[in-house]
Structure 1
Amino acid sequence: MVSAKQLEGGYSFVKASSGNEQLKFHIVPTKGTKVVLYQLTASLARGLAACDGLSINEEAKQSLLGALLLAQWEDCSSKGRFDYDVTSCETKVICGGKKFFAQLNEKWNSNSPTPIENQVIQPLGPSTRKNVKIHREDILLCIARGDNESSVLISSALAPQDGTLVVINPNPIEYGHVYLVPYDFCHQVKMLDKRSLEYITQIAVEVADCSFRVFYEYAPLANPVAACFQANFFENALPVELLELAPVYGNVLDKGVHICEVTGYPLKTLVFTSNENLKLLITVVMEICSVLEERNAVFSLLITDCGRKIFLFPQAQSSSAVHLSAWECAGYFIFKKALEFDNTSEDEISKILASVSLDDGAFLALKQLCGSIANKLVF
């Protein structure tokens, strides 16, 4: 795993790209496709004990799902399925209190979707959306819920319709970068629904690794066709995770949902946490996301802490459809040119983040909306 180390002296970073590395098309597997199948238990709460009291920098015993995902990913890497070796890219922490990350990656393409192949996975049925054909070798595994008391690994099984495909991103930004694609993605009315968010959160719980982070982006103008979850392994905490929080709603000691705003960050950000009630946490976040989708608002999610913490990055509307990716919102930037990588600064990154941030009035309205929705659902 690549780790970013604090360096001495002055550093830099890459300008935020005008595009995002979101999957541009629709992915659907065919009936009869056999995959490695990992069956979760039916309980969302299972696996939380593995993360209890674990900090990001502590060593943890790797879960079966985490080990499987990385073993499959590394196997694809050894077979040349990626456009480049992301582990060889230079990464550093930019000088300053925010500890922004910068990566020099001259081969990275912020706008490249998964390549369309002539072979392999065809649509399940008629769809008005454009489909990407994913090569079978790009599918690492499928994750689905089972009826067993413990998780089960099946070396070869038909991909169930209620499962989630784990597909490589051939243009990775970090170690273990994958797409998490619900099997019935094309049949969803909305870009995001409660069932999918709950499924993805359970996967984060099952991986039981605080370095595993999941991203979701919604930008209707820039990407009106499709969106999906992405995930990768960051060994170090992302900058937004290191800052102090100011309470917005709830008591952090209770078993419900606690909403805070991140203080001192250029991009106004909310974070939702729950000590025990993940179903309630997901319900509250999903209700808020639904309202934002109805308003065609641009926003991103970051799921961390083994599924117990969800960051919401709202972005101001832009007629040019320019927005930041979820990892850029979290403080991780990629540069394609060495000169930009060498000469960037914390001030420059802060200005980029601030340029897409909501103004004070809009952010206040969002906090009030979140509190109102939480009140309605908690009580």
Structure 2
Amino acid sequence: MVSVEQVEGRTDYPFLRQNSGSDQSKDHQVTLKGVKIHLYKLGIIARGNDACGCFPCAATDSQSLLDSVLLSQWEHCAWKGQLKYDVTTCQTKVINGEKKFVVQLNERWNSLFLEEFENNFLQPLGPISSNHIKSHKENVLFCVSQGEKESSEVVLSTMLPKDGILIIANANPVEYGHVFLVPYNINRLPLFLDKKMVELILRTAVEVNSSSFRVFFDSIISNRSDHIIFQASYFANPLPVELFPTVPVYADTHRTGIHICEVADYPLKTLVFMGNNLDSLSNIITEICSNLRVHGSAFNLLITDFGTKIFLFPQAQSLIMDRPISTWECGGYFVYGTKFGFDNASETEILKRMASVSLDDSSFQSLKHLCCSIAVNLYL
């Protein structure tokens, strides 16, 4: 395992400079009494008249600072025994069939881990507080926020920025490096997606700069109010949905650089949004998700390709559906808690499960028209 101390010892990054808090107003921070937390401050993106906040170049050979910090902190958490099992020892296989779905055997898997996390970690609509962080400090890895310098940096601080994302280890990991990404404002925990939040999540994915890193979001429709919780983990190989061909639905090469495609021949109706423009991608995703939320529609988001590609999985309500499927399941990756279920997993069973939550042709056509309309109207 890579320890935190090993990463701190790097000479090519100013990793753990103590932050006095003098560079930001206390009106925009909360004091963490008796607690120190790592802050990852994102560098400022140059926004020219034509760039409109384009992503920085990705896919470099060297490991990024944020990737190093995330993995070292997560592995240190695992080394301390904060995780319930070693997910790297779980057996996986590709099941027979055309779709090449992937299944994992995890007999210690807890399918209710997200609900337990909400109940045990998140305060009901409450602000982020010192006691809140202190009581869960073993699993809080660090915080990501927008910095004020050209380059990204990591500091150790007793002050939490007003807005940011808490990176928290998931004690029930689905894959290596599995974390919760919890957007927050010191005065509240958000209940819906907004552009600033989506942009910060995308910036985080860009900054990690790893082809294995994927971000998930599940919008579960229920009678209770849910906090906004993203998740992320590392996958050694692309998820099955990423390997399917796509059919163009909309393209705006000149103004926004956004492309919208439909994933062809996939059992779950799926759209994918692609682009190197931070503002445009976060704008369109926020508007579409807001519209789906207003209409009470469940959906999932999968962010891949260094933050430049977002899969949208709309889900239909179904009487035979005992629960909405998770984002990794939408992507073709399924976890089984028993050896019997793992050994007997079949493409037929998974196809039926995915079809039970997929939109019908008419509803999906309406969604495509809505997405195109939003894309056009955002930049009239």
TM-score range, shorter chain: 0.7 to 0.9
Alignment-derived partner of residue 291 in structure 1: 291
Question: How many pairs does the alignment contain?
Answer: 339
Q: Which residue of 1 aligns with 2:271?
A: 270
Q: Structure 1 pair 189/109, CA: closer, same or farther in 2 (3 Å)?
A: closer
Residue 197 of structure 1 and its aligned partner are, at CA, apart by: 0.6
Distance 1:295 1:303 in 2: 23
- Find the residue that maps to 1:148 and give its secondary structure: coil
Q: What CA deviation, in whole Å up to 9, does each residue of 1:43-70 have, x standing for no partner?
A: 285763123xx7xxxxx42111001100
Counterpart position of 1:93: 94
Query: What displacement does 1:42 show?
Result: 2.5
Q: Write the deviation string for residues 169-215 of structure 1: whole angstroms up to 9, x where unpaired.
A: 11110000000111228736642111111100000000011111101
CA shift in 2, pair 1:363/1:115, >3 Å: closer
**Kept after mapping to 1: 8 A contact 2:302/2:310:** yes
| Counterparts of 1:361 and 1:262, CA distance in 2 | 16
| Residue pair 1:121, 1:134 contacting (<8 A) in 2 also | no
User: Aligned partners of 1:31, 1:123: CA distance in 2, in Å?
Assistant: 20
Gap runs ≥5 in structure 2:
2-28, 47-52
More off after superposition, 231-240 vs 38-47: 38-47
Residue 259 of structure 1 deviates from its aligned partner by 0.5
Aligned twin of 2:341? 340
One-letter code aligned to 1:295? H
Aligned to 1:4: none
Give the equivalent residue in structure 1 for 2:323.
322
The SS at the match of 1:49 is: coil
- State the TM-score, normalizing by the size of structure 1: 0.82
Q: CA deviation at 1:220?
A: 2.1
Report the counterpart of residue 197 of structure 2 in structure 1.
Answer: 196
Gap change, CA 1:185 and 1:214, over 3 Å in 2: farther
* 1:16-35 equivalences in 2 (<5 Å): 31-32=31-32, 33-35=35-37
**Matched residue SS, 2:232:** strand
What is the aligned partner in structure 2 of residue 37 from structure 1?
A: 39
Q: Which runs of 5+ in 1 are unaligned?
A: 2-28, 55-59
CA-to-partner distance for each residue in 1:136-159, whole Å, 9 max, x for gaps?
111101111111110011133422
Q: Which structure 2 residues correspond to residues 21-170 of structure 1 after superposition, within 5 A?
A: 31-32=31-32, 33-43=35-45, 48-51=56-59, 60-112=61-113, 113-114=116-117, 135-170=136-171
Q: Once superposed, what is the RMSD of the aligned Cα atoms? A: 2.7
State the 1:317 CA deviation. Answer: 1.5
Q: What are the superposed Cα offsets for residues 242-272 of structure 1, whole Å, 9 maximum, x if unpaired?
A: 0000011115687521100000100000000
Aligned to 2:372: 371
**Larger RCO, structures 1/2 (Cα 8 Å, 6+ apart):** 1
Match of 2:302 in 1: 302
Matches within 5 A, 1:233-272: 233-250=234-251, 255-272=256-273
Q: Separation in 2 of the partners of 1:297 and 1:132?
A: 33
Task: Check 1:152–1:43 CA distance in 2 against 1; reply closer, same or farther (3 A cut).
Answer: same
- Determine if contact 2:30/2:161 at 8 Å carries over to the other structure: no
Taking the aligned partners of 2:36 and 2:255, their CA distance within structure 1 comes to 44
Matched, 1:361 2:362: yes
Once residues 225 and 255 of structure 2 are traced to their aligned partners in structure 1, the CA distance between those partners, rounded to angstroms, is 39
Shift in Å, 1:162: 1.1
Partner SS state of residue 261, structure 2: strand
The 1-side partners of 2:37 and 2:122 are apart by: 12
Question: What residue number does 1:350 align with?
Answer: 351
Give distance in 2, aligned partners of 1:357 and 1:123.
32
What is the CA deviation profile of residues 341-369 of structure 1, one whole-angstrom value per residue up to 9, with x for unaligned ones? 11111222111111110000000000010
> Percent of pairs identical after alignment?
49
> 2: CA distance between counterparts of 1:288 and 1:321?
26
